[in-house]
Amino acid sequence: MLRSRHKLADHAAALERVEAWTRLRFKLADDAVVLVSEIACGLPGCPPLETVVAFWTQGDARHQFKVFKPVVDVLMDDLPPTYTRDEGLAQALGMLRPVVSEAARQLGVPAEVLWGLSERPDLVAMIERELGRAQP
């Protein structure tokens, strides 16, 4: 019985340690939500236990990463050095930045149109010219 309590204490300490390291690494506020979980994976090629960390930053932007080992084995060096967003992948997956979705909502324009304009400066210039002509 003592052994299982010891393992539970080690597990709880490891969860707290990874949470603290995440706050430090990503410069998160003390009140920022950080979730650390250890999950079992039954898929082929997946490690039996992996650690998943999720946290939120300003604007309710959600970030997450996985460490492919049990939480008690996670080291600070296992955490990614920083959070970077792959815009191409995010767009392909339909993951919009909060600022773009908010601008789209306020303007009444689909977010995809704003993303398309960001890739077409020629269209932006044409719209600016047209708007300039429409000014009284």
Residue type, 132: G
- Where are the chain's structural domains? 1-83, 85-136
Separation CA 23–CA 34 (nearest Å): 8
Half-sphere exposure of 77 (CA within 13 A, CB side): 0
Q: Is the C-alpha dihedral spanning 15, 16, 20, 23 positive or negative?
A: positive
| Tens place of pLDDT per residue across the chain (136 aa) | 455 776 888 999 999 999 999 999 888 888 889 999 999 988 888 889 999 999 988 767 788 999 999 999 999 999 988 766 666 666 666 665 667 777 877 888 887 788 788 878 898 899 889 888 766 6
* Residue positions counted in the chain: 136
